A and B are shown apart, each in its own frame.
Chain A
Amino acid sequence: MSEYQLNKLLFMLAGQHKMVDSLSEEDELGSYELSQDEKDALKKGDTIRLYELGANPYLIRRVFRPRFKV
């Protein structure tokens, strides 16, 4: 699936200054064309997997800020 859709979701959440450990279906995941792999990584808050899947690292850090120790 397109990493563009993944980044689009993260961009939307970052714009809301959302900072979370993980996401759920309530976070509008269904509004974006995401692969199961992408959905799983989002729901786990797996920042490394998201990076591997092409999520922009600046958006990863913004949205999943609690996942980072510093």
Chain B
Amino acid sequence: MGDIVAGMLTSHAPLITAKPVVSDPQQRSRFLAGFDVLRQRLEHARPDVLVVFANDHLQNFFLNNIPAYCIGMAESYEAPSKGGATFLKIPPRRVPGAKAWAQSLLEAGWEAGFDFAYSQELEFWDDVSVPLHFLMPRATIPIVPILTNCVAPPLPPPRRSYRVGAFVREFIQTKCPKGQRVALLGSGGISHSVGTPETGKINPHFDQRILEWVRQGKGDALAALSHEEIEKEGGNGGQELRNWIPVLSALPGHKGEVLSYEPVPEWITGVAIVWLTMS
């Protein structure tokens, strides 16, 4: 029986590392202070494995074969890849994977009715690389990425992500070795529009509504959102809330401590950092 020792939610955006100084210095300072606190808590939690719920940005998958959910099952990952590093402006590096753990999760998923795809080679851009740049500067903890299609509609419904999170919790609690310490990270959102005619639009009201649910531990409220509601209120980038939902459903009874939230127009994103704590 493993233990979930950390639950974290963060935003990602390439401009956070590519152009940090274009943002308001005070906003940037407050936001990065949140990452600093989160990193300290993650280190204090001493996880053996870090499960990262994130999404591809069409650098790995194309429309000829898009998995709704894909588990990374590699020895290591490029996070960021050399190509990603060119625009993220952080050094390319390899982050260790937890291949056997990932395969166990995959097979347990198939038994439980979740037809996960898997991949033994994934390159990451801001999706995984930006939060890990701040949270894991020395690339010490093996990761298991679980990618959800958030960018190439039709997308799996948010309520499905809720069930995925509950499954991951059950897997950790019933299939993992006794005492194994597992941390969960959800990376994405909150409101932002990417490449659409509304590019740059941020909706702080929507963001605050989401964060209030997170504070109350209401992952089910996030999961009840429809694709259309998210798109209208949170932009196409808001669809990445699918990466937050499984962390919330894996940690019932936990409430979100919002360490920072800033709507940063220069990064075209309402960015937040959240630690989940048992209430």
Contacts and interface: CB of A to CB of B under 8 A. Distances in A.
Contacts of A15: 59, 83
A70 B58 contact: no
B196 interface: yes
A47 B195 contact: yes
A14 interface: yes
B104 interface: no
A56 B239 CA distance: 14
B152 A51 contact: no
Interface of B: 15, 22, 57-59, 62-63, 83, 86-87, 151-152, 193-197, 199-200, 236, 265-266, 268
A16 to B, nearest CB: 9
Tell me the interface secondary structure of chain A in the complex. helix
A15 B59 CA distance: 7
Contacts, number: 58
B152 A56 contact: yes
B58 A17 contact: no
A59 interface: yes
A70 B62 contact: no
A17 B87 contact: yes
Contacts of A62: 57-58, 195
Given A11-B62, A17-B83, A62-B57, 18 more contacts: A4-B63, A7-B63, A8-B63, A15-B59, A17-B86, A47-B195, A48-B197, A56-B58, A56-B151, A56-B152, A58-B58, A58-B151, A58-B195, A58-B236, A68-B195, A70-B22, A70-B265, A70-B266
B64 to A, nearest CB: 8
